[in-house]
Amino acid sequence: MDFSLSEEQEMLKTMARDFLEKECPESFIRDMEEDDDGYSPELWKKIADLGWLGLIYPEQYGGTAGNLLDMAVLYEEMGRAMFPSPHLSTVVLCGLTILNAGSEEQKADLLPGIVNGDLILSMALTEPESSWDGKAWAPEGVTVKATPDGDNYIIDGVKLFVHDAHVADYLLVATRTKDGGKPENGITLFLVDARSPGITCTLLKTVSGDNKQSEVVFSKVKVPGKNIIGKLNGGWAPLWKAMQAGSVMLCAEMIGAGQHALELAVDYAKTRIQFDLPIGINQFVQEHVVQLLCDVDGSRWVTYLAAWRLSEGLPSDLDVAIAKAWTSDAHERACWRAHQVFAGVGSTEAMHVMPLYTRRGNLAQFYLGDTDFHLEKVADELEKLKSPERPKGKPLGLWDKPEEDPVPIWEPWRERALAIQGRREEKRKLKARKK
C-alpha cells in the first residue's frame, strides 16, 4: 500500500488539528475529567456540523461515504489532542454494527440521528466474571441471558466497564440467547433504550479520568423482538467486525498521542539547560528520543496497513491483531521514554501534560483486547497459513554442485584463507601419494 495521505486526507488532518487546538486545549481536557458527563454536548454538535460523525456512513444516511483509513487520520488527531467524546462508542462500535447488520428500517431510523449528533450509543459487552479470566472480548465471555417472552425478550444480568453508558440514548447489548455449540453462535444483539425500567447505571472511578465507564445492571428489562440488530444468535460476527475497526481507531489515537509526546520530548531536550548545556547532548537522552520515534513510526505503519485492508474489504484479522498488540506495548514504551526525558516535572499531574497521555494510554491498551488477547489472535492466524509445498517434477540439479569454500574479500583475511586452502591441498596430495 501507499502510506502517503491523499489530498483530501491531508485537508482533513489539517482541519482537525486546527479545530482541536482551538476547541480542545489542555484546560478543557482537565475540566472534562471533573465533569460527570465527560464530554461537551456543544462540542459534540460542532463536530457533527464538521461531518466527523458521518465520515464513514453512506450519503443516503447523511454521511460523507469516507472509509476507515480516513477515520484513522481523524483519530490520530483526536489522540494527539486527547479529545474527550463518545465518538468511538457511538460512531464506530455501535454505528458500524448497525450499518453492517441492521435492517433498512433500523439504519434509516438511527444512522441520521448519529450523523446529526442527536443520538449517543454505547456498546455493553464486557461482564464482571469474564473481565478477570481473559474472556472479556471473546464470545465465551457473553453470559447475560435474553429470554423470550412472547414477542419480547427479558434481559437479566450485569455489564461492566461500559463506556459512555451514563450519557447514552441507546445501549447495544450483547446477550446469550442459545447455549451449546460454538460460543459465537448463540449471541444476539439488542438495541435497548437506556432509560428503560430495570436499568441501573453506576459510574466507575477509572484511571483514565476522561473516559467515563459504568456498571450497568439489567433487572428483567423487557425489550421488543424488533430491536434485535442482525440475526437471532448471529450477533457476534457484525459486532466483532466493528470491534476490529474500533481497535484500529484506538491504535490511531495512541499514535497521535505518541507523536505529540515525541515532539514535546525533542523540544524539551533542546531547550532544557543543565550545567550550561541542553540535556539533549547526552547520549542517554538521545537514545530515549530515538527509541520513542521508532515505536511511534512502527505503530503508524502497522496501524495504517490494518486500516487500509479493512477499508478495502481484504482479510485483515492478522493485521488488526498485529496492530493492536504492537501499538499497545509500543505506546507504553513511548510514554515511559518521554517521562525519562522530562524526568520529575513530567510526572507532576498539575504541571505537565504527560500524565494525561500516560493514563489515557493505559485505557487504550486494554480496551477491545489487551496485548495478550491479540497475540493469541496472531498465533491463531499464523496456524491457518499453509505450509510450503515441495516442488513437483524432475530435479534440476541446482544443488548437486559441491559447495565451494568462500574466500573473504578483505585482504588480510583473504591471504590467510588462501594460505589455509593451499596447505589443505598439499595435505590432500600427500595423502594421495601415500596410497
Q: Residue 398 pLDDT > 80, yes or no? A: no
Residue scoring higher pLDDT (418 or 216): 216
State the cell numbers at 19: 479545530
For residue 23, the Cα-to-chain-centroid distance in whole angstroms is: 25
Q: What is the pLDDT of residue 387?
A: 81
Going by pLDDT thresholds of 50, 70 and 90, the confidence category of residue 348 is confident
Going by pLDDT thresholds of 50, 70 and 90, the confidence category of residue 278 is very high
Tens of pLDDT along 157-215?
999 999 999 999 999 999 999 998 899 999 999 999 999 999 999 999 888 766 689 99
Q: What is the pLDDT of residue 172?
A: 98
Q: What is the pLDDT of residue 290?
A: 97
Write down the mean pLDDT value for the chain: 93
Q: What is the pLDDT of residue 405?
A: 64
Distance CA 155, CA 176 (A): 9
Spatial contact of 201 and 165, defined as CB atoms under 8 Å apart: yes
What is each CA distance from 290 to 207, 262, 277, 327, in whole angstroms? Answer: 28, 9, 20, 17
Q: What is the pLDDT of residue 60?
A: 96
Query: Mean pLDDT, to the nearest integer, of 337-348?
Result: 92
Q: Residue 410 pLDDT > 90, yes or no? A: no
Q: What is the pLDDT of residue 3?
A: 78
Q: What is the pLDDT of residue 409?
A: 77
Going by pLDDT thresholds of 50, 70 and 90, the confidence category of residue 391 is confident
Tens of pLDDT along 115-131?
999 999 999 999 998 77
Q: What is the pLDDT of residue 62?
A: 96
Q: Residue 282 pLDDT > 80, yes or no? A: yes
List domains and CATH numbers for the chain.
7-118 (1.10.540.10), 123-233 (2.40.110.10), 237-383 (1.20.140.10)
- Among 208-217, 315-324, 404-413, the minimum mean pLDDT is found in 404-413
Q: Phi first, then psi: what are they for 401, rounded to 5°? A: -70, 130
